Amino acid sequence: MKIGIPKEILEGERRVAVIPKMVEQLRKGEHEVFIEKDAGKGSFFLDSEYEKAGALIRPDAPDLYAEAEVILKIHPLEKIEVELMKTHSAYIGFLFAASRLDVIQIMKGKRITSFAMECIPRLARSQSMDALSSMTTISGYRAVLIAASHLSKFFPLMMTAAGTIPPAKVLVLGAGVAGLQAIATARRLGANVEAFDTRPAVREQVASLGAHFVEMEPVKDAEAASGYAKEVSAEFLKKEREIIGNRMAVNDVVITTAQVFGKKAPTLITEEMVKMMKKGSVIVDIAAEQGGNCELTEVGKTIVKYDIVICGNVNLSSSLSVDASRMYSKNITTFFQHLYTTKDGSFDFEDEITRSTCITHKGEIVNEMVKKAFETEGQARG
Ligand code: NAD
């Protein structure tokens, strides 16, 4: 196969889908690797390192796409990118297909086979392919550093000649992959941490990191078979806001990470709750791109309201571009090797990972959720 790695075109994106070390891995399968000039520049992987690993540099995107039979990428393809892809070629990367039906339509027309990284099922054997978890780990870590840089207080307990300063208090909402990493990072910086999640199963994980679990009447069947949280009722959300509201008044920092896969993030913090915080406190809303957990969050912006700093940073993983590229590269290379096991490039759709991630194949949309999204759009158009 001729594998192509284009330069990411999203503004401010610094990651690259494949690092030089993984080029060597990909070539072991007798594949050829092509990479667009300066694709690794934002994460300090130079063209010369790619050449040393055996990749062939292509001067621009049209040249790269004209050659590649399989594209490996991070961000979902833009229309201008999919238009450059060859017919009958393949795409592996994030896709978020249900919200990009125009791109999927073009893929279908060009008989492109596409695999979406965000659809990798949560199985023990797919953990090394799980880029969503890799990237949210980075977000959780980064969010705490952002909070620390905005807070006008120390995170750790400081015993100095000028007196003893108590540690900062941090509340983490949502203790999944990002939340647990945020807890661990805040603890490493010396803060007192408490956390809440609708899945009672995480209580022990929170405690094992030295944080306190905020107790609330547990949600029945909080977790779907996929391992993701289910959406909670409006009644539960009301109670949850009351409990969180009380905790917000005593914490200096709130990191919010609560999400429900495929849905808008739940609003856990209202404007009234923000007003209850101590002046100078900080909220970092990791769920900003999914609609935000805080009512006042502005996507991609840091704002100050009622003397509270509210950070709605997006694409946090790109800010750690070297390690983010390293992790993503390992995930996508393992996934590629899982998909391409035959010499003729055919896929094993009996396999759960392959079946769950495939969106388009042989001119058809094969993913049920995306099919439904097309039907809904068709109905909306009349
Ligand atoms: P996510 O990003 O969808 O959600 C983040 C967290 O928000 C979750 O823990 C969820 O329970 C929580 N949440 C949702 N609604 C909430 C609300 N109203 N209030 C408070 N919290 C709320 O989830 P995630 O972080 O990607 O992962 C969730 C779980 O899946 C974790 O336990 C993780 O360990 C597990 N996981 C397993 C695998 C695997 O087995 N291969 C891979 C990744 C994650």
| pLDDT band with cut points at 50, 70 and 90 for residue 201 | confident
Q: What's phi and psi for 331, nearest 5 deg?
A: -60, -50
Least confident of 221-225, 317-321, 340-344, 362-366: 221-225
Task: Note the pTM of the prediction, 2 decimals.
Answer: 0.93
Question: Which of 128, 228, 286, 327 is the best mutation target for the ligand 1 pocket, counting ligand atoms within 8 Å of the beta carbon and taking the most?
Answer: 228
The CATH number of whichever domain residue 365 belongs to comes to 3.40.50.720
Q: What pLDDT, on a 0 to 100 scale, did the predictor assign at position 229?
A: 76
Angstrom distance (rounded) from CA 12 to CA 315: 9
Angstrom distance (rounded) from CA 98 to CA 73: 18
- Tell me what the pLDDT averaged over the chain comes to: 94
| pLDDT band with cut points at 50, 70 and 90 for residue 342 | confident
Task: Name the percent of the chain lying above pLDDT 90.
Answer: 85
Does residue 29 surpass a pLDDT of 90? no
133 given a catalytic annotation: yes
Number of domains in the chain: 2
242, 273 Cβ separation under 8 angstroms? no
94, 75 Cβ separation under 8 angstroms? yes
Which one is predicted more confidently, 211 or 234? 211
- The average pLDDT across 59-68 equals 98
Pocket flag, ligand 1, residue 182 (CB < 6 Å): no
Q: Which residues of 42-53 are buried (b: 16+ CB within 10 A; e: fewer)?
A: bbebebeebeeb
Distance of CA 312 from the midpoint of ligand 1 (Å):
20
Which of 99, 127, 128, 152 is catalytic? The answer is 127
Does residue 263 surpass a pLDDT of 90? no
Same domain for 325 and 366, yes or no, is yes
Domain end marker among 284, 319, 354 = 319
Does residue 343 surpass a pLDDT of 80? no
Question: Which of 118, 123, 127, 133 is the best mutation target for the ligand 1 pocket, counting ligand atoms within 8 Å of the beta carbon and taking the most?
Answer: 133
Label the pairing between strands 282-285 and 192-196: unpaired
Pocket flag, ligand 1, residue 259 (CB < 6 Å): yes
Distance of CA 378 from the midpoint of ligand 1 (Å):
32
State pLDDT tens for residues 220-246.
666 776 667 778 888 888 999 999 999
Does residue 382 surpass a pLDDT of 70? no
Same domain for 26 and 173, yes or no, is no
Q: What is the 3-state secondary structure (H, E, C) of the chain?
A: CEEEECCCCCCCCCCCCCCHHHHHHHHHCCCEEEEECCCCHHHCCCHHHHHHCCCEEECCHHHHHHHCCEEECCCCCCHHHHCCCCCCCEEEECCCHHHCHHHHHHHHHCCCEEEEHHHCCCCHHHHHHCHHHHHHHHHHHHHHHHHHHHCCCCCCCEEECCEEECCCEEEEECCCHHHHHHHHHHHHCCCEEEEECCCHHHHHHHHHCCCEECCCCCCCCCECCCCCECCCCHHHHHHHHHHHHHHHCCCCEEEECCCCCCCCCCCCECHHHHHCCCCCCEEEECCHHHCCCECCCCCCCEEEECCEEEECCCCHHHHHHHHHHHHHHHHHHHHHHHHCCCCCCCCCCCCHHHHHHEEEECCEECCHHHHHHHHHHHHHHC
Same domain for 173 and 249, yes or no, is yes
Domain end marker among 288, 303, 319 = 319
Same domain for 24 and 120, yes or no, is yes
CB-based burial of residue 302 (10 Å sphere; 0-12 exposed, 13-18 middle, 19+ buried)? middle
- The average pLDDT across 178-188 equals 98
| pLDDT band with cut points at 50, 70 and 90 for residue 103 | very high
Same domain for 309 and 346, yes or no, is no
135, 113 Cβ separation under 8 angstroms? no
368, 262 Cβ separation under 8 angstroms? no
Does residue 262 surpass a pLDDT of 80? no
130 given a catalytic annotation: yes
Same domain for 196 and 218, yes or no, is yes
Same domain for 256 and 235, yes or no, is yes
- In ligand 1, the atom with minimum distance to the C-alpha of 231 is 15
| pLDDT band with cut points at 50, 70 and 90 for residue 344 | confident
| pLDDT band with cut points at 50, 70 and 90 for residue 149 | very high
Task: Name the percent of the chain lying above pLDDT 70.
Answer: 97
Range of the domain at 161: 138-319
State pLDDT tens for residues 162-176.
999 999 999 999 999
Q: Which residues of 145-171 are buried (b: 16+ CB within 10 A; e: fewer)?
A: bbbbebbebbbeeeeeeeeeeebbbbb
Which residue reads 């959720």 in tokens?
A: 369
State pLDDT tens for residues 277-327.
999 999 999 999 999 999 999 999 999 999 999 999 999 999 999 999 999
Distance of CA 175 from the midpoint of ligand 1 (Å):
7
Same domain for 80 and 114, yes or no, is yes
- The average pLDDT across 52-62 equals 98
Pocket flag, ligand 1, residue 257 (CB < 6 Å): yes
Domain end marker among 319, 349, 373 = 319
Same domain for 212 and 337, yes or no, is no
Same domain for 148 and 94, yes or no, is no
Same domain for 311 and 229, yes or no, is yes
Q: What pLDDT, on a 0 to 100 scale, did the predictor assign at position 378?
A: 80
